[in-house]
Amino acid sequence: MADVADMITEDLPPARRTARRDRWLGLASFAAMLGVWFALTGSGLWPPLVQPAFLPSPLTVAKTFVKLANTGYQGHTLAHHFLVSLMRFGIAFAFCVVVGVPVGLLMGMHSGVRAALDPPIETTRPIPKLALLPLFIIWFGIGELSKTIVIIAALFPLISISAMQAVRSVSVRKIQAAQSLGANRATIFRRVLLPASLPGIFTGLRVSVGIGVTMLVGAEMVATSDGIAWMALTAADFVQTDVVLVGVLVMAALGYSLDQLFRALERRVVHWAGRE
């Protein structure tokens, strides 16, 4: 007679089969969403259940995408709108990485720097940064600068504080181990503190990628004539719902690919993270 433990494990599918099933389930729910979209809009096979002005069919959106890619929107190609948005995000993000990470590391290592910088960062952090956009426009004009700064304002505290917390949570034992092996301060920073903080820094970067793309929409709401979010917002004024959807999908794809890129980078660079 088989014992109880055997009977239970026999009923459980192997982990790999479970993983494959879960992957299929994920794809299936995407397919279902697309199916509902097809069904609601008729797609030329039957009368649409929803007015095209509210929800154009997936085919229309695909056609619009091709048209926009070829002929552009309001004088600029889709690629131009996309690249302009990517550049706005990229410049702001790069600034936050280059300045925010070192500032956070310093805050984590020196209580003096922390005492000086933590209060201003912490008190301004809860302010919705988009609310500051009008102010930034007055200060920095309606050009690229105010848009970049509003994104920086949102990302900088996130990135610097996650770097600070990453340094502060480095295990004392690892630092003591390095000291007792004869390492000086510079070596401890370069070979212990910095690598040990990388997983925490990466988490902060990945979170801020998502928020950065969100901020892009806000930044392109005013005083511009290009950018992918601007395209969607302008098209909405003319109820060009297909153009709006193209804009939304491009932004979704941008956010998703950046997130995937960072996940892949994370797996490569900090493969040890969370595995003691």
Residue 190 DSSP label: I
In Å, what is the CA distance from 4 to each residue of 9, 10, 92, 252? 9, 10, 59, 49
Based on DSSP, count helices (H) and strands (E) in the chain, helices before strands. Answer: 13, 0
The nearer residue to another protein, 198 or 249, going by C-beta atoms, is 198
The nearer residue to another protein, 192 or 209, going by C-beta atoms, is 192
The nearer residue to another protein, 16 or 275, going by C-beta atoms, is 275
d(CA 30, CA 163): 36
Give φ, ψ of 46 to 5 degrees.
Answer: -150, 165
The nearer residue to another protein, 253 or 269, going by C-beta atoms, is 269
What's the min distance (Å) between Cβ of 180 and another protein? 4
Per-residue x/- marks for another protein, 38-77, CB under 8 A?
----------------------------------------
Q: What angle do CA 106, 107, 113 make, to 5 degrees?
A: 95
Find, among 221, 246, 258, 201, the residue nearest to 73 by Cα.
246
What's the min distance (Å) between Cβ of 190 and another protein? 11
Total binding residues for another protein by CB under 8 A? 23
The nearer residue to another protein, 133 or 193, going by C-beta atoms, is 193
d(CA 107, CA 68): 47
Q: Which of residues 193-232 bind another protein (CB under 8 A)?
A: 195-196, 198
Q: Which of residues 137-196 bind another protein (CB under 8 A)?
A: 171, 173-174, 176-184, 187, 191-192, 195-196
Per-residue x/- marks for another protein, 232-271, CB under 8 A?
--------------------------------------xx
What's the min distance (Å) between Cβ of 205 and another protein? 17
Structure tokens at 127: 């302010």
Question: In the chain, what is the straight-line distance between the N-terminal and C-terminal CA atoms, in Å?
Answer: 41
Name the residue with tokens 């990470």.
101
Answer yes or no whether residue 113 interacts with another protein by CB under 8 A: no
What's the min distance (Å) between Cβ of 111 and another protein? 18
The nearer residue to another protein, 9 or 180, going by C-beta atoms, is 180
In DSSP notation, 166-177 reads HHHTS-HHHHHH
d(CA 269, CA 117): 29
Residues near another protein (CB under 8 A) are 171, 173-174, 176-184, 187, 191-192, 195-196, 198, 270-272, 275-276
